[in-house]
Amino acid sequence: MKRWLPSPLLTAALVAMWLLLTESVALGSILMGAILATVTVWGFKALDPPGGRLKRPRAAFALAALVFADIARSNLAVVKIILNPRKTERVSGFLHIPLDMRAPYGLATLACIITGTPGTIWVEYNSANNTILLHILDLVDESTWIDTIKGRYEKRLMEIFE
Amino acid sequence: MTHLADLPVWAAIPVALFLLLGSALALIGSIGFVRLRSFYERVHAPTLGTSMGIGFVLLASMLCFTVLQSRLVLHEILIAVSMLVTTPITLMLLARAALYRDRSEGSDDVPAAPPVHTAAPPAQDSAPPV
């Protein structure tokens, strides 16, 4: 089983993607999707990807909802900054954040969250001391941002991936 | 799309609204390119279009074609997922290229390279890190 179907979750996701692409749930599409997904996963495993798995899928859905709301909120915040006619004393700048998480897929997800949320950008990751460098458009209070990244996202990601 | 006229009004209004909201966000993002001051600030602007901007446009597309074809059209989700997963790659590439150039020029505005990296580029004593 392990040999023929190395990562069931990835295979299922690829089958779902194929069904969405072909826009059908006919038996033929499912079979074709299953074959393609299995071969793709074999190819992916041959690249020797870093290990790691989704430990708590339900927590992942909760995090997705949280991120969705945050993206909406920060979209509004960035719109306000751009359309603000006055050049106010808004400060933007770099911020180092030390992380506790080491799981590679957790870090990748954190990068997607931070970059997907307008106003924050992941600039650099230092694996030696596990620190990330962010650029933040509205750097009002550094400790608030550190609390947001660490308390809001990293804690949940560690529950999911570690 | 000539059969777009078949779209009933109750669907046409939200579709138009979502399209306008999405394109407004993309436009505001582009205005940000002009208004924001440094490169690192400007790199934030297009994320409006790549997050909620594209989200609204895809929502409009899903609603429009679900109603027109009388079946659930969901493959826009794939566009949203690919967008979410690939934008960090481009943005990181741009930000890191800028950071690399600023560091090699000895700019004071960017944080110094971490100690592990200082072995590779020649040490720049002229501009001490803050």
Domain ranges in chain B are 2-106
Q: Return the pLDDT at B28.
A: 93
Is the confidence at residue B128, as pLDDT, over 60? no
Residue A28 and residue A68 share a domain: no
Query: Model-level pTM?
Result: 0.82
Q: Return the pLDDT at A87.
A: 67
Residue A1 lies in a domain: no
Interface residue of B21, B38, B43, B44 to substitute, partner A, most A CBs within 10 Å: B44
Residue A51 lies in a domain: no
User: Which of B25, B73, B88 lies nearest to residue A75, judging by beta carbons?
Assistant: B25
Residue A62 and residue A42 share a domain: no
- The H or E element containing residue A121 is strand A120-126
Number of H-type helices and E-type strands within chain A:
6, 3
Residue A40 lies in a domain: yes
CB contacts of A92 in chain B (<8 Å) are 38, 40-41
Q: Return the pLDDT at A53.
A: 75
Distance separating alpha carbons of residues A137 and A88, to the nearest angstrom: 13
Residue A121 and residue A81 share a domain: yes
Interface of B with A (CB under 8 A): 25, 28-29, 31-32, 35-36, 38, 40-41, 43-45, 47-48, 50-52, 73-75, 77-78, 84-85, 87-88, 91-92, 95-96, 99, 110-111, 114-116
Question: What domain range is A29 assigned to?
Answer: 8-46
Residue A139 and residue A100 share a domain: yes
| Closest-CA residue to B84 (of A83, A137, A2, A68) | A68
Residue A63 and residue A35 share a domain: no
CB contact under 8 A, A75 and B114: no
* Nearest-Cα residue of chain B relative to residue A17: B78
Residue A119 and residue A147 share a domain: yes
For the segment B6-16, the average pLDDT, to the nearest whole number, is 88
CATH no. for residue A81?
3.30.1370
Residue A142 lies in a domain: yes
Residue A65 and residue A40 share a domain: no
**Inter-chain Cβ pairs, chain A and chain B, closer than 8 A:** 101
Residue A22 and residue A65 share a domain: no
Q: Which residues contact B113 (CB under 8 A, 6 or more apart)?
A: B103, B121
Residue A31 and residue A102 share a domain: no
**Does A82 touch chain B if contact means CB atoms closer than 8 Å?**
yes
Length of chain B: 130
**Does A54 touch chain B if contact means CB atoms closer than 8 Å?**
no
Residue A106 and residue A146 share a domain: yes
Residue A3 lies in a domain: no
Q: Return the pLDDT at A34.
A: 92
Residue A104 and residue A40 share a domain: no
Q: Which residues contact B53 (CB under 8 A, 6 or more apart)?
A: B22, B23, B25, B26, B29
The nearest CA of chain B is from the CA of A32 a distance in Å of 18
Tell me the pLDDT tens digit for each residue of B94-124: 999 999 998 888 877 778 776 654 445 554 5
B54: tokens are 């594209």
pLDDT bin (cut points 50, 70, 90) of residue B60 is very high
pLDDT in tens, chain A (162 residues): 566 667 888 889 999 999 988 888 889 999 999 999 999 998 988 888 887 777 787 888 999 999 999 999 999 999 988 888 776 677 888 999 999 988 888 899 999 999 988 889 999 888 888 999 999 988 888 888 888 888 889 999 988 887
Q: How many domains does chain A have?
A: 2
Residue A83 and residue A30 share a domain: no
Q: Return the pLDDT at A8.
A: 83
Q: Return the pLDDT at B116.
A: 54
Tell me the pLDDT tens digit for each residue of B21-52: 999 999 999 998 888 888 888 999 888 988 89
CB contacts of B41 in chain A (<8 Å) are 92, 137
pLDDT bin (cut points 50, 70, 90) of residue B2 is low
The per-residue pLDDT of chain B, averaged, comes to 83
Q: Where does B1-130 show beta strands of DSSP type E?
A: none
